[in-house]
Structure 1
């Protein structure tokens, strides 16, 4: 098969969805399929990475962020023409796989309609939770998104839905899909409950088999002595809650209640604020801001940590780093009960609170408890079955079954 993937961001850009596209492409090609990835071109300092890769069909774009890492392609006739030209020298497409919720989705559905192709849509984003965490007027923005969707999909099935909330937006997109998948059971059930699609296939975003084996093979048998080593990995932006995490660390280490070293991996709009907070709260000596790391190096840091900390609540559709860490036997400190249920064993769950001050205090108490368990050698252990279930090869095999069902 020739699968044409449409994404909102270039596959070599930073982010979990982009890692997923890269791995899916590689493992589909290993299975003998052809893959083309359509996304906005890159404008940041790493714009020439894989610049000559024939599978990347880069479209003209508009940089979205100050670091020019992310960009937008306006979905219209000119972009449609660019897609068609880019695919002229590729084999005839058999299926469209939409891996985005915005301009990538619009372009993918438009292309599928022109060619009469089935669409498999992997839904990655909690649009409602993301907008509420990052914008001052989320309801106005989602109304605007629905208006944009109706214009971009004019004449297609998704244009007919006149709803104005985030679930209506996703429902309208899914009207053009043959199959919908989600990276976790909890998000799949939420999509079904909100009428997005009758049956959503659960296919985890997996870990690179080869990188897993290399990193696991070099992992020490026992814990290194010294302070408790915590790692926080992700985009430093409000929905991920890095600042409340650092506030909780400051609370937990006060009066020597917790001896820890913290590594914060990633970049984003709150990086400068996070540095200032660490200085102000007197924990700068304990917290190391590493910045973004290559994929395998990030896996090594998770494998070497005593615990991974993930602080987002209600935003993650999978919580991929929790599963990656679990593959190496690294437990997680979690704030989201959905992710805790999905990963199963091997975590500490922070007590649920309604206001942020109480959440920070609850997280601080959990950090202290986890630190004590780690030092005493009684930390919870992740389920070893995850190491086989979470491999990208297993996820790709499951996705190929969905492709075959869609094309039949």
Structure 2
């Protein structure tokens, strides 16, 4: 099977969705499938891969980490020319929310291909956290989708490409929802994408149920993002050892942007007064502000900014930590880091109640969204770690989170989507 994945950002850029897609790609290839990944061309040095099809793009962040490709006829022509030299495509897997989604759905419509769409993003929460006028942005986003997606205003005006008929919609998706009906919110936007898909998947039960409740699709398949089998086997086969002596070790990792709540986390570390080792892994726009906050506050904890790390090294540090700290609320559609940590036996301090519920055990839950509540959870976790009674993750997560099992589940969805069009 030849699977063409579409992403908003290049797979070598920073982000949980990119990490997940890199693993998906590798394990699909390991299972004998062919994968092409279509994404904006990066503006920073990155690893090359023959499976990457890089689209002309412009950098959209000061650090040149992220880029945008404008969806339209020029991009369509470039993509079709490049894809013409590759194998016949069986299924399109859209794992994007914005320009990547538009480009992917337009490509599938032009060539009569089935689409599986993985919803990675709480669009409404993300935009509210990052945009100064979120309602206006959501209105504009819905209008943009209505103009450029197949079957929208652009298609009705005669733009190249065919509209997708109702036979390609997911089971129970609500046709005709979008910018023209109902509120122009994040859910309306996601409904516009879902109506063009034969199957919709989500990386967690809580997000899948939320998508269903808002009419994005009647049935959303839950397929977790996974962890590398080889890395997990190596970690699980290592000889058991006593905890490395020293103060409690906490790790926070991710993109340093407002919705991830790095600054409130650092404020909580400072307010908690815990004597601990705190490692911050990742990069992003708030790095400078985070460093300044630590420098002027003299916390009791030692706080180290480790920068971006390779995947295997990140997992090694997760395994070595006493707890990982998850601080975003309402934004994460899975919270991949805490599942990786749980697979390695590392518990988590969790701010998002949906993620805490999905993990089950191995959690110090934060009572609310305030800095004092997070500080109290950190104090509790540190005390339990020092006492030798930390929270213990569910051991079954390690097996359920393997990428090989997640890939097999997704291949079943692909096969269903392909069969539905015959």
TM-score (norm 1): 0.94
Matches of residues 318-329 of structure 1 in structure 2 within 5 Å?
318-329=334-345
Q: What residue in structure 2 maps to residue 15 of structure 1?
A: 15
Deviation at 1:316, TM superposition (A): 0.4
- Distance in 2, matches of 1:323 and 1:296, equals 15
Query: Would you say 1:317 and 2:333 are equivalent positions?
Result: yes
Correspondence for 1:364 among 371, 375, 388: 375
- CA-atom RMSD, angstroms? 1.4
- Distance in 2, matches of 1:225 and 1:259, equals 14
Q: What residue in structure 2 maps to residue 252 of structure 1?
A: 272
Q: What residue in structure 2 maps to residue 356 of structure 1?
A: none
- Provide the secondary structure at the position in 2 that maps to 1:348: strand
List, as ranges, runs of 4+ consecutive aligned residues in structure 1 with deviation greater than 3 Å.
Answer: 156-160, 215-220
Query: Would you say 1:273 and 2:289 are equivalent positions?
Result: yes
Query: Would you say 1:104 and 2:100 are equivalent positions?
Result: yes
- Distance in 2, matches of 1:72 and 1:284, equals 42
Q: What residue in structure 1 maps to residue 349 of structure 2?
A: 333
Deviation at 1:218, TM superposition (A): 4.4
Query: Would you say 1:384 and 2:395 are equivalent positions?
Result: yes
CA contact (8 A) 1:150 1:160 kept: no
Q: What residue in structure 2 maps to residue 76 of structure 1?
A: 72
Matches of residues 4-403 of structure 1 in structure 2 within 5 Å?
4-44=4-44, 46-47=45-46, 49-50=47-48, 53-153=49-149, 154-155=154-155, 156=163, 161=178, 162-163=180-181, 164-218=184-238, 221-253=241-273, 258-283=274-299, 286-353=302-369, 359-403=370-414
- Distance in 1, matches of 2:82 and 2:231, equals 32
- Distance in 2, matches of 1:328 and 1:121, equals 29
Deviation at 1:336, TM superposition (A): 0.6
CA contact (8 A) 1:160 1:172 kept: yes
- Distance in 2, matches of 1:175 and 1:346, equals 38
The C-alpha deviation readout for 1:53-90, integer Å capped at 9, x for no partner, is 22111110011111111101100111111111111121
The C-alpha deviation readout for 1:272-301, integer Å capped at 9, x for no partner, is 110111111112871000111111110011
Point out where structure 2 has 5 or more consecutive residues left out of the alignment.
156-162, 165-174
- Distance in 2, matches of 1:118 and 1:145, equals 24
Deviation at 1:387, TM superposition (A): 0.7
How many residues in Structure 1 have an aligned counterpart in Structure 2? 395
CA contact (8 A) 1:308 1:332 kept: yes
Q: Mean Cα displacement is larger for which, 129-138 or 328-337?
A: 129-138
CA contact (8 A) 2:269 2:301 kept: no
Deviation at 1:214, TM superposition (A): 2.5
Q: Mean Cα displacement is larger for which, 226-235 or 212-221?
A: 212-221
Deviation at 1:219, TM superposition (A): 7.0
- Distance in 2, matches of 1:296 and 1:54, equals 22
- Provide the secondary structure at the position in 2 that maps to 1:373: helix
CA contact (8 A) 1:5 1:35 kept: yes
- Provide the secondary structure at the position in 2 that maps to 1:129: helix
- Provide the secondary structure at the position in 2 that maps to 1:317: coil
CA contact (8 A) 1:219 1:304 kept: no
The C-alpha deviation readout for 1:243-293, integer Å capped at 9, x for no partner, is 11111111111xxxx220100001111111101111111128710001111
- Provide the secondary structure at the position in 1 that maps to 2:234: helix
- Distance in 2, matches of 1:180 and 1:55, equals 24
Q: Mean Cα displacement is larger for which, 278-287 or 66-75?
A: 278-287
- Distance in 2, matches of 1:159 and 1:57, equals 32
CA contact (8 A) 2:275 2:301 kept: no
The C-alpha deviation readout for 1:88-121, integer Å capped at 9, x for no partner, is 1211101100010111111111111111111000
- Provide the secondary structure at the position in 1 that maps to 2:372: helix
